[in-house]
Amino acid sequence: MKTQRQVLNAIHRLIEFIARLIYMFIAFLKGPAESQPPIKDLILLHSATTLAFKIRNRQLMSEEIVQSYIDRIKEIQPVLNCMVEDRFEDALKEAKICDELLKSQNAPSPQVLAEKKPFFGVPFTTKDCIGVANMKQTAGLTVRKNIVSKCDAEVIRLMRDAGAIPLATTNVSELAMWWETSNCLYGTTKNPYNTRHIVGGSSGGEGCIQAAAGSPLGIGSDIGGSIRIPSYFNGIFGHKPSTGIVSNDGQYPSAQSEDQKRLLAIGPMCRYAQDLSPILKILADKNADILRLNEKVDISKLKFYYMEDDGGQLLTSPVELEIKEAMRKVIRYLEKAYKVKVTKLNIRKLKKSTALWMANMSCKDEKDFTYELSNRNGHINLWWEFLKWTMFMSNHTLIALLTATFERFAVKHGSDQHTKLIQESRELYREFQDILGEDGVFLFPTHPTAAPLHHEPLVKAFNFSYTAIINVLGLPATACPLGLNKQGLPIGIQIVGGLHQDRLTIAVAEELERGFGGWVPPVIVA
């Protein structure tokens, strides 16, 4: 059995190598990589919390800030294709109302605004899957191209209540079920550090617009890594909250089972770690008290654990040496700065990450991916769609059709194998909880490689398992950037905590931002 695994992995490495040569040649034929425009407006370099402070203290006007971000989006959109729909006019009107209120005799004090509306006048963006009233909610599915959300998703309502202003929606993979952001409606989003490379998915447009300074904060959703993978590929911070903390109401596609509900989480994406906790506090609403976000975290009192890889999962790329070295630098930094001991773990069940995630994703009652691709109106005919795709007539991406095909051979809901994998998922959760408790933090690669070339994920399909297994566990995880690799692409790690210990992972991310610099901005000419 071990020999078979070694042979399969060797074949997979060879396929990856050949495919990369092909994709590099295709990229060469398409011409040189483009660069995102330089930053000319220093307003774009402020954190969201700083912008909110400056607005309520009348140091900056909301309308001025919104206009700065509109101008930036117009600069980057032709190069990166991260946005799908804007509400620029409405956002400017709402910003003007904020400014007029602050000029009035009845203007609330900065203290009141900080408490009641902590993001007063600050613009934000969100992925297309999360409903914004009177805006399209396509989820990258062609048949949904004219579907308009009648009301805000719960998280958008909460952000509005906190004073924030929706600015635009951003691109996603088809039905938010792949880790490259591309669909037949809006096309492919490109990495701001090198347009030959991907932005991740499914919140790839959001990760891209944040990294390119097109928005001060964003909202994403994560069922298998859809916040953390784009955050990692684009060099920003992203947080997947503990399961059940943030409402998923208004997200499409919605979860079809209790297991899927536990996997799915909506959370913040931003350039500065200091923004994570204030945004999460708003999104968590009445559940914020469970997270104790206002409690200070003493890094020196935490227990640290790590793994440099998943132990050698089948058909998964090996973790790149630069990522392992970045992990080691983090460990040395923590040991030196806080005199903590960072313990290496060997959790064997992580080798089954993909299988465990797929078991938790499986649905009964034939609500499979062909059902989702039909917009939950029957089932598409897979073979007919494949035929149409070969003639450039299908409304679906190749990877969506391949995903639906692969699902037919996956573990069936209710089978003995499914029951066994669900049981193993629970055992793994208990193992992690026993290790982490209320004061433990686990450092783990977000992904085994930096952002691949466009379409390269087709031969690296299961690399998402590094994030997906954390969804299975329902634990909080923060994607933390650690600079750029030798190719100029972002790399980093994810920081995982025990259930409801989100404040620990965010606190460690804030510390690593101080130690390693966090988001790397484009050229600044302001």
pTM of the model: 0.97
Compute the mean pLDDT over every residue in the chain, rounded to the nearest whole number: 97
Predicted pLDDT at 6: 85
> Is 202 an active-site residue?
yes
Across the range 42-53, mean pLDDT stands at 98
Marked catalytic residue, from 202, 203, 277, 425:
202
146 and 6 together in one domain: no
113 and 18 together in one domain: no
CA distance 492 to 520: 12
Q: Please list, residue by residue across 392-418, b when 16 or more beta carbons sit within 10 angstroms of its beta carbon and e when fewer do.
A: eebbbbbbbbebbeebeebbebeeeeb
Percent of the chain with pLDDT over 70: 100
9 and 50 together in one domain: no
Q: Tell whether the model's pLDDT for residue 1 goes beyond 70.
A: no
1 and 133 together in one domain: no
214-258 per-position pLDDT tens digit: 999 999 999 999 999 999 999 999 999 999 999 999 999 999 999
309-333 per-position pLDDT tens digit: 999 999 999 999 999 999 999 999 9
Across the range 17-29, mean pLDDT stands at 95
Q: Which of 153, 167, 118 is nearest to 274 (CA)?
A: 118
Residue 431, domain CATH: 3.90.1300.10
Q: Which of 494, 403, 485 is nearest to 451 (CA)?
A: 485
- For residue 372, being part of any structural domain is answered with no
423-444 per-position pLDDT tens digit: 999 999 999 999 999 999 999 9
- For residue 392, being part of any structural domain is answered with no
280-299 per-position pLDDT tens digit: 999 999 999 999 999 999 99
Q: Can you tell me which residue has the tokens 């073979």?
A: 383
Marked catalytic residue, from 127, 190, 281, 460:
127
Predicted pLDDT at 154: 98
Marked catalytic residue, from 68, 226, 362, 465:
226
179-188 per-position pLDDT tens digit: 999 999 999 9
206 and 353 together in one domain: yes
- The radius of gyration computed from the CA coordinates of the chain, to the nearest angstrom, equals 22
Burial of 32: CB neighbours in 10 Å, binned 0-12, 13-18, 19+: exposed
CA distance 156 to 338: 38
Q: Which of 205, 225, 228, 227 is nearest to 215 (CA)?
A: 205
> Is 415 an active-site residue?
no
List 168's β-bridge partners, or say none: 86, 125
Predicted pLDDT at 526: 75
Cβ(227)–Cβ(238) below 8 Å = yes
**Which tokens sit at 85?**
């729909």
Predicted pLDDT at 89: 98
Q: Tell whether the model's pLDDT for residue 112 goes beyond 70.
A: yes
CA distance 471 to 360: 10
Across the range 491-518, mean pLDDT stands at 98
92 and 14 together in one domain: no
119 and 22 together in one domain: no
Across the range 503-523, mean pLDDT stands at 97
Q: Tell whether the model's pLDDT for residue 474 goes beyond 90.
A: yes
Question: What's the length of the chain?
Answer: 526
- For residue 191, being part of any structural domain is answered with yes
Helix, strand or coil, per DSSP, at residue 297: coil
Cβ(127)–Cβ(205) below 8 Å = yes
Across the range 142-169, mean pLDDT stands at 98
17 and 54 together in one domain: no
37 and 25 together in one domain: no
- For residue 87, being part of any structural domain is answered with yes
113 and 160 together in one domain: yes
Cβ(421)–Cβ(356) below 8 Å = yes
- For residue 394, being part of any structural domain is answered with no
25 and 129 together in one domain: no
- For residue 88, being part of any structural domain is answered with yes
Predicted pLDDT at 249: 98
Q: Tell whether the model's pLDDT for residue 391 goes beyond 70.
A: yes
265-285 per-position pLDDT tens digit: 999 999 999 999 999 999 999
115-130 per-position pLDDT tens digit: 999 999 999 999 999 9
> Is 351 an active-site residue?
no
- The total domain count for the chain is 2
Structural domain of residue 480, as residue ranges? 32-292+302-362+410-516
CA distance 459 to 56: 50
pLDDT band at residue 2 under the 50/70/90 scheme = confident
- For residue 368, being part of any structural domain is answered with no
Predicted pLDDT at 366: 81
Predicted pLDDT at 3: 82
220 and 269 together in one domain: yes
Q: Tell whether the model's pLDDT for residue 264 goes beyond 70.
A: yes
pLDDT band at residue 4 under the 50/70/90 scheme = confident
